[in-house]
Structure 1
Amino acid sequence: MMISKAHCLAVAFVFLATLQHADAGYDPIDPEGNITIKWDVVEWTGDGYRAIVTMSNWQLYRHIQAPGWIMGWTWATKKEVIWNMVGAETREQGDCSKFTGNLPHCCKRTPEVIDLLPGVPYNQQTANCCRGGVLSSYMQDPKTSVASFQVIVGNTGNKNTTIKLPQNFTIMTPGPGYTCSSAKVVPKTKFLSPSGRRITEAFMTWTVKCSYTEQLAHKAATCCVSFSAFYNETIVPCEKCACDCPTNNTTPIITTNGADTNNQRCINRFDPHLPLTLNSTKNNNLQQQPDMLYCTNDMCPVKIHWHIKLNYQEYWRVKITITNRDISRNYTLWNLVARHPNFKNFTESFSFSYKPLTAYGPTNDTAIFWGVKYYNDMLMQAGPSGNVQSEILFRKDSAFTLANGWGFPSHVLFNGDHCVLPHADHYPTLPSSSSTLRAATTTIALLVLFAVALLI
């Protein structure tokens, strides 16, 4: 059968389109997951409007951790200003030299808005504000998966009914990863009064949807998985260079002010300059900062270890350990997603919170774990407090086996990003039973011969 050039081109086009779709943020575990930004215009002013802006995280397991979200956009008419904000603030005021008297809060054409920190005065707060930009995933805590603020916009240059919508929305966390749609006018939001007896509605409402793409957020993996089991002394480590490869020179050069002059990717944990290096990594601003890792063969900021610990008559037990190797970062409200066929018979988690991810599809084979509040919900920097662990218990079913690596997960994600698993041919194997089987067969044969001899 001859295949034409046109047919080949068509197949290639479909393949490329599939890749583009895969890179566009589609997640088979959470296909409807997104962050939705909603603007509700609730009041007209002399030169613009007052709006309530709400950011809702509808992602089941992906969240925004400290130092928090940054929301940006571009004003449509190039003249708009922000007169005032409640519940948030812009990072820069911009050039407001054209104004006299009371200056606007922000005059930039491309403002960047950040959340306020906890503990600000009450008159600067709105509902769902002031958590330092931390936004929980919907599964972990729906109440803290929403953020909101109020903004008074002026110089709109339009009549109230013909507002030109802001453009080019972005969400930084603080790095990249989210791609936002254009603003779209939707049916007006209805509000219920505090008494619950009166309904009002916004003058105008528009929404923006932002989806996450792991490839945009990270050029390489950020976590890896190692395996072990009670029936094999071998510990299968993370794959070599799973996230990156260590440099040959692992000793950073530290200046008198604590700066690393040669920008090494990792440091030796026994390096005498380590205290200076730790001080140099402290960064309280919202800029994306490079990871400062202990040197390892896999160079992953986070390692997850899955250990098959015990095998009971009706149950089997696994121990999960999550280790932070990044001395420059804490992981706030971390979560772990794992896929294994026996999650449909999951019984108990001893020190992690747990929920099944069964929103899509009939198969209950995926679970999300996260830390218990005020106990292990923050994974601290690398060091003595840089790990959390729990044991989980499964009830056996007819599919249970310890052969061929069945007891290990097929997918693991940390904070929404896929972790590198060991190659399947490296999994811990069961002890060889061939000699035992041969001995048992020989014994049975001798017993049969002995019985036959008695009958003769």
Structure 2
Amino acid sequence: MELLPAHAVLALLLAATLSLAVAYDPLDPHGNITIKWDIISWTPDGYVAAVTINNFQAYRQIPSPGWTVGWTWAKREVIWSMVGAQATEQGDCSKFKSNLPHSCKRDPAVVDLLPGVPYNQQIANCCRGGVVSAFGQDPATAVSAFQVSVGQAGTTNKTVKVPKNFTFLGPGNGYTCGPAKVVPSTVFLSPDRRRKTQALMTWNVTCTYSQHLASRYPTCCVSFSSFYNDTIVPCARCACGCGVKSCVRSPRDSKRLVPAASSAHALGLRRGGNRESLAPVLQCTTHMCPVRVHWHVKLNYHDYWRAKVTVTNFNYAMNYTGWTLVAQHPNLDNITQVFSFDYKPVVSYGSINDTAMFYGMKFFNDQLMEAGPYGNVQSEVLMRKDASTFTFRQGWAFPRKIYFNGDECQMPPPDDYPYMPNSSPPSALASTAMIVGSAVAAFLVLLMA
């Protein structure tokens, strides 16, 4: 057998490594969506299961229009009824003469119900339009649930077959799900916590997110400015791609393309799963990003320094409700005060605390409005200086990474960062050195003449 060249072997190893790591987030290495099925009772031809969707991602939420869960039945199962959710299609139920099932699809797709449905159609943690908070932001609302009655499925642990090919769709469709695995049965506590009951059978499905699968381009970009330099470093040109056929130059023009109520619920996207209607209607910019984050180094005190953070929405088709912003900077372990955002540290590597998650205050600025005069939120962050590391030189005061709603934003090149007035950027230093060198050489030539 002919051996592959060394460079070919290296390329294959690299490709394998990238394929495994494509969904790995170093700031949230254990973040995932876990779908848990608990069979809680048997029926004459199947079972009733409680399905729980847990978002264990530290700072990535499931925003509107919410989740869609799909799978393929292992046999000829049907869904007799559901509470707290519904299948998007009934499918072909023609073989049933009466008492038609809720869905006969071999590969059903299920969505959450909207708020306000009748009480008898609800269960705990349902009916929020598929919106699920990030676990680091609000653990209490980082879960969604529904109940399903399955027929033609078998009525014992040995005859029930686990569904296959699970899919979890959120906005962007960047999730990949592994196979369902039977695990030890869940133990439930009664409301008074005095009695334990156990599921008859439990299986889990783990889904992970990849920004590369969700979009070939970033969905946000970062710009910089500072009090010590008049230069404003903008987002890179076409930071989020320039393949959009058209963009909107004024709010008046946007009304031709977007209905008056632009939230995903008002657009009616929940019922049909029509995610194509969520295509952004962008304000015309050089960067063509739906969201821009601006970091301004604002003030310098003796023991503290202050930065201002502004998030601007350039998308006329989207309100970002429950948004999150994550910044990585070595001085974020010394945050003293955040003025108009809520804040939590994100500890990603052991005890290293250089990452912070910011999010809006409830009923104040937790909704980032669509593009226009109200399409921005801002706050200031006061940090205590660390005498051993603090400096304004070489762009140290600017963040290393920025994430918006869990997606990493396009950063400016390091050489473009605002520099101190008494120093020069690398290119200027090189030019100065060349000029000085030429002058010295000319002076020496004159001396030798």
> C-alpha distance in 1, partners of 2:363/2:339?
16
Cα distance, 1:10–1:281 mapped onto 2, change above 3 Å: farther
Q: Return 6-15 or 133-142, whichever deviates more.
A: 6-15
> C-alpha distance in 2, partners of 1:424/1:433?
15
Residue in structure 2 matched with residue 290 of structure 1 by the alignment: 279
> C-alpha distance in 2, partners of 1:150/1:415?
29
Contact 2:157 2:201 survives alignment (8 Å): no
Q: Which of structure 1's runs of 4+ aligned residues deviate more than 6 A?
A: none
Residue in structure 2 matched with residue 255 of structure 1 by the alignment: none
SS at match of 1:153: strand
SS at match of 1:279: coil
Shift of residue 22, structure 1, vs aligned partner: 2.1
Cα distance, 1:266–1:280 mapped onto 2, change above 3 Å: farther
> C-alpha distance in 2, partners of 1:131/1:422?
37
> C-alpha distance in 1, partners of 2:307/2:174?
33
Contact 2:85 2:126 survives alignment (8 Å): yes
1:89 correspondence with 2:86: yes
Shift of residue 370, structure 1, vs aligned partner: 0.5
> C-alpha distance in 1, partners of 2:181/2:148?
19
Contact 2:47 2:155 survives alignment (8 Å): no
> C-alpha distance in 2, partners of 1:376/1:405?
29
Letter in 2 for 1:47: D
Residue in structure 2 matched with residue 306 of structure 1 by the alignment: 295
Residue in structure 2 matched with residue 411 of structure 1 by the alignment: 401
1:89-238 alignment runs, 5 A limit = 89-156=86-153, 159-238=156-235
Residue in structure 1 matched with residue 52 of structure 2 by the alignment: 54
Contact 2:26 2:348 survives alignment (8 Å): no
Contact 1:129 1:149 survives alignment (8 Å): yes
Letter in 1 for 2:73: W
TM-score between both structures, scaled by the size of structure 1: 0.87
1:255-334 alignment runs, 5 A limit = 264-269=245-250, 273-279=253-259, 282=262, 283-285=267-269, 286-288=273-275, 289-334=278-323
Contact 1:239 1:298 survives alignment (8 Å): yes
Contact 1:61 1:368 survives alignment (8 Å): yes
Shift of residue 359, structure 1, vs aligned partner: 4.7
Shift of residue 96, structure 1, vs aligned partner: 1.3
Residue in structure 2 matched with residue 252 of structure 1 by the alignment: none
Contact 1:180 1:209 survives alignment (8 Å): yes
How many equivalent pairs are there?
412
Contact 2:153 2:159 survives alignment (8 Å): no
SS at match of 1:20: helix
1:380 correspondence with 2:396: no
Residue in structure 2 matched with residue 261 of structure 1 by the alignment: none
CA-to-aligned-CA distance 1:313-345 (integer Å, 9 cap, x gap) = 110000000000000111111100110010111
> C-alpha distance in 1, partners of 2:157/2:233?
64
> C-alpha distance in 1, partners of 2:235/2:341?
23
Q: Which runs of 5 or more structure 1 residues have no equivalent in the other structure?
A: 248-263, 435-456
Residue in structure 1 matched with residue 439 of structure 2 by the alignment: none
Shift of residue 160, structure 1, vs aligned partner: 4.8
Contact 1:48 1:160 survives alignment (8 Å): no
Shift of residue 49, structure 1, vs aligned partner: 0.3
Contact 1:30 1:360 survives alignment (8 Å): no
Shift of residue 287, structure 1, vs aligned partner: 1.8
Contact 1:223 1:418 survives alignment (8 Å): yes
> C-alpha distance in 1, partners of 2:4/2:102?
60
SS at match of 1:11: helix
SS at match of 2:48: strand
Contact 2:43 2:155 survives alignment (8 Å): no
Contact 1:281 1:292 survives alignment (8 Å): no
Aligned partner of 2:335 among 346, 349, 365: 346
> C-alpha distance in 2, partners of 1:189/1:223?
40
Shift of residue 157, structure 1, vs aligned partner: 5.1
Residue in structure 2 matched with residue 9 of structure 1 by the alignment: 8
Shift of residue 265, structure 1, vs aligned partner: 3.5
CA-to-aligned-CA distance 1:381-433 (integer Å, 9 cap, x gap) = 00122100000000001211111100000100101111011111111111136
Q: Which runs of 5 or more structure 2 residues have no equivalent in the other structure?
A: 425-449
SS at match of 2:188: strand
Shift of residue 195, structure 1, vs aligned partner: 2.6
SS at match of 1:215: helix
Residue in structure 2 matched with residue 240 of structure 1 by the alignment: 237
Shift of residue 347, structure 1, vs aligned partner: 1.0
Cα distance, 1:157–1:362 mapped onto 2, change above 3 Å: closer
CA-to-aligned-CA distance 1:150-207 (integer Å, 9 cap, x gap) = 1000011575532111011111114311100100000000111123221110110000
Cα distance, 1:276–1:11 mapped onto 2, change above 3 Å: closer
Residue in structure 1 matched with residue 447 of structure 2 by the alignment: none
> C-alpha distance in 2, partners of 1:433/1:87?
62
Shift of residue 281, structure 1, vs aligned partner: 8.8
Shift of residue 12, structure 1, vs aligned partner: 2.1
Letter in 2 for 1:422: P
> C-alpha distance in 2, partners of 1:200/1:188?
10
